A and B are shown apart, each in its own frame.
Chain A
Amino acid sequence: MKTIYKKLSFLLLLLPFCVLAQNTFSGKVLDKVSGQPIPGVNINVQGSTTGASTDFDGKFQLSNVKKGDMVVFSFVGYKSQTVEFNAQQSITISLEEDASQLKEVVIQVGYGTVKKKDATGAVTTLTTKDFNKGPVSSADQMIQGKVAGLQIINGGGSPGQGAVIRIRSGSSLSANNDPLFVVDGLPVAAGGVQGGKNPLSTINQNDIESITVLKDASATAIYGSRASNGVIIITTKKGKAGDLKVTYNGNIQVSDIVDQVDTLTPSQFRDIVNTRGNATQQGLMGQANTDWQDEIFRTAIGTDNNISLTGGQDNLVYRASVGYANLNGILKRDNMERSTININLVGNFLDKHLKIELNNNSSLINSNYSNTGAIGSAIRFDPTQAVRNPDGTFFQWYNSPTEINQLAGRNPVSLIEQFNNLGTSFRSIGNIQTEYKMHFLPELKAVANFGYDEMSGTGKGNTAADYLNGLPGSGYNNTYSNTESRNNKLMDLYLNYNKKVESMNTQFDVTGGYSYQDFKDSRTSSNYTFENNTTTEGLFTPTRVNLQSFFARANVTIADKYLLTLSYRRDGTSRFTEENRWGNFPAVALAWKLNEEGFLKDVTSISTLKLRGGWGITGQQDIGVSYPSIPLYLASNSTAQYQLGNTFYTTYRPQPYNSNLKWEETSTVNAGIDFGFLNNRITGSADVYRRITSDLLLYTQNPSFFGFSNYDNYNVGTIDNKGIELALDLVPVKTDNLEWRIGGNITFQNSEITKLTTVLDDTPGINVGGYAGGTGNTIQNHQVGYAPNSFYVYEQAYGADAKPIDGVYIDRNKDGVINEQDKYRFHKAAADVFYGLNTSLVYKNWDMSMVWRGSWGNFNYNNVDSNAGNYQEILLRNTDLINGVANVLETNFSSQDAKRYESDYYIQDASFIKLDNIGVGYTFNQKPNSTSLVKLTLSAQNVLVITDYTGIDPEISGGIDNNLYPRPIIYTLGLNVNF
């Protein structure tokens, strides 16, 4: 220690000599237009490592500068300036904004950021100006149709309804195909919670600054586990230094139903019963004419309001926002009430060496789920019956005044009015991230990120006392309650070294670290049966899954032209046994910035031209269950006991397990080109990729007489996904008053199963895809050489009049018998091509935008028609009547052969083009140089669908169309005020 003191004091003595030989350069940097100081401007002395940056007031002080040194001032978004040092006392530099650089978006790539122009992977970033406008209430709605390779299909039109999100088709069969969501650096748990809604709706859309989609392995490999299906990084808005700014965003929305299922009209129904039914059935008809779908749907109104405050002093900036939304769905009683709070604090201490960032997104959602069973019931309920009897009670089918008809359907309006299904869920995602730039080595930075994701929810409900007149077996006065609580923790620790080695003209950005994630889930459920006065508790075991990993990445930039990224990640999961626990996920990517090359550098019309190529391996282990690899015994609950002697015993069953389960691995090869011409008036990218997933995790059949059940999880095979993504953005017109942008993206995709190991040759493969009308029967199939989830159906025979012949199918293998060996694979649900087109026009204070979306090559199984399009279904029993669909009048099907459900007649082309969003906005007179504004917008969502599909909506994830909650058209009037 003492020697260090001696050296220090010696150095101190030397200082005066330094001063004599060199000078201090100080001054101020301002924005040329506004005259405001710019903090954080980089100041470098050319040819040396000396550097500094401006402080909060734009002031700087640079030491060790020699006369004649060239000093470069640079900052993102501004044109750099170079000044020769001539021992000026103090200097004021005015930096001018660089229009072309404004497109320099900084994107999140996991444990760091890069500029878009330096990214080596297939990455797309959307910011506030790119997001879909209108009645969006969750992150997935903001980017639908905007990113090549990203397909988002929501589950239906209920507010807060979840969506199925796929990046490049998803790579698994039974394992989770969802991409990984990262919110402010915290990978969040997949899925929601009891009593909740779409987990993405827990983040208020007004708080989102940018969404980055990482598509290929070189981008996602740094997230290793959980990243096989791509990564979507959501970054919330941060504070801006300066005076307090208040922003208000609010809207009022009106939703209306667009299309209904074509059921038989009352007169068509009467005709059928009178011609084909027997006397008893004709006597069951009523006198009314009821449109049951009209009875359960309504026009719905909703509001969504959000206020945010941002400001900051010195080194502490903050942003806080509060939001409240009350959205009603078009199904009666369907309602979601959401309150959100978002807080963000960023502090810079120790002379900008220590940065602490605190984020918190919390939300409370109260839902009234209504009863979605009413949607299916409305299609099948007798249209000749009135909603209510003359005495005010609901019409229902009874065998006698004292006995309910156990098999008949239930009055759809009574399902909504006489059942309560409510939910409350709370979610809080928060993290604190500290970044410390070492004082002795400013290029080295240590980052620690501690985060949590807590969700808890309760779903409960009850049945009315007078449901089915309170008769035995009706379930009246029964109640249920399900609770769930999930606690997830994250810790990331890493070091980052970022240095430019001038001698090699190379920038090194190296990161290495450790990540720990822990997921806990516990739930309870109880059901109270009023008639027996008993409460039955559900069986649950609290689960815990733990993931740990070690990761490292190096970004090497040579001469600002050649980019290389190498990354490696080693992940361990608690789901698998120790032998299979760890997976290794490397990735390599190269990029060449052609426009920086000598021969292109001076071609001004080319602003960006970058070739990229990458390879990497990512892993997947999320198969839903937490303990698939260890032997467990499961207890029975109180209603599944068995009596031996005089005692009822709880029984214990050994659970199926597979100790050989291991990581599913996807290896991706991606090649792409990013381009920008004419000062970025034309920008775009093209990507070609191939992803091969091996050791696919699949819940599949055991051989008979082996295994504790007939199904278990295995690593079974390989899938090959290929695709091409193209994106283009044009600004054809750009003047002072008028700007017209048009952009589009198109994705071509193809998936094929190339290996299945638990399926032997010459066998039909693995059957999946259950449907209504045949419990336990399936309509889809996985087999080698075909797309996953291909429809597996009988070939319908047609007559000379091109009408299908009832109950007759083609004997494809010509063995004289029509059985399962005559089934064949006919199309699939996944699209071959999907695309999006958006355009916006800004003229003075007006702006207009439109978003189109489409898909081609996707087919649906019309389960509504297959289940209800048959005369036998209508006249099934003598105790009650069931409505059918209009399709029965076309086909005249009446055969009861169960094969009819699986006829290829019901596999229908569902290609579509949708006008998803159209909007107009007006910004009231905005003062120049002022950030305050008042803007009014009017928009409509789900405006138009062009399709040949005969069901109510062609866009169904998974391709099985059955009782979809219809998607409404939503008109929105919005107001945005910045104070």
Chain B
Amino acid sequence: MTASARKIIHVDCDAFYASVEMRDHPEWRDIALAIGGRPETRGVIATCNYLARQYGIHSAMASATALRLCPQLLIVRPDMARYRAASQQIHAIYQAFTERIEPLSLDEAYLDVSGVTLCQGSATRMATAIRTRIREEVGITASAGIAPNKFLAKVASDWNKPDGQFVVRPQDVAAFVAALPVARFFGVGKVTAARLKALGIHHGADLAAADPLLLTQEFGRFGERLHQLAHGIDKREVEPERDRKSVSVEETYARDLPDLAACRAELPELLAQLKSRISRAGEPPLRALVVKVKFADFSQTTVEHAASTLMLDAFGRLLETGYARGQGRAVRLLGLGVRLGNSDARQLEFEWEED
């Protein structure tokens, strides 16, 4: 490709699961609706419609909390089969525009439309066309961001959400990033945002002006990356066959697990689930084992260790470490996962592990 700027579109469906439900149940269109688990089983909200959001409800919130905020909220169980079908329809629409599609989830994808000649080569008009077809053919709305890189495309798709789009043209990148609050930067959560603020860094312009050495000292490699993003630089390619980097399973328990022994007792079940996920992923080589523990107060921790095989006793020891960090707090959620290694070469192991 030439050195001219790339054209990346980030498409993000609006309240995807809820939109599919409202499409299929018109009677739910004008009420507060959430998709998620039941409050009595410690369920969590996966998505909610925009009406529900007005009550302060958001994804990953406990269903019980959501009901306290909005007692008339209708919570329905997710129906993944219908969501997947809608996702496939949307994917087919993307394919009419480009082969370079990187799906991030069922309802979100990056498209690289650099060099595509449709719509006279205008990425903005392609994004409009994609959104129109999604509305007409799938019956839900989507928002889009158009920018020279993935980072800005993703920020832009949120700009006029729902059912809108926003373009960051190459010549506008510098001004756009300069005015961007740090919390909008990829990878910056509450904690990092607070640390940045403590350093007097509030907007992209502050980040761009910050000493890269200081950022690296404070945030390691992530600091270096932030500095690059603040200069509008994000070289990540749209990767059509997104390599899986990890596989994991987790379970939120109907009753908090009171102690380590109770947590340990859940490991075999989780390990069995994990094994089946890994085999569905084609038995990729493993690089590390990970245990995630979420405590009753919603604080969470993960512990990992390099390993190339699944081992119950190894997960047990990671759990011990993770559990200890809760200083006796009860456990709400346990997760087991693996980080995947490179498949170029694979050292075989002796087979004496427990099964």
A associates with B: no
Q: Which residues of A contact B (CB under 8 A)?
A: none
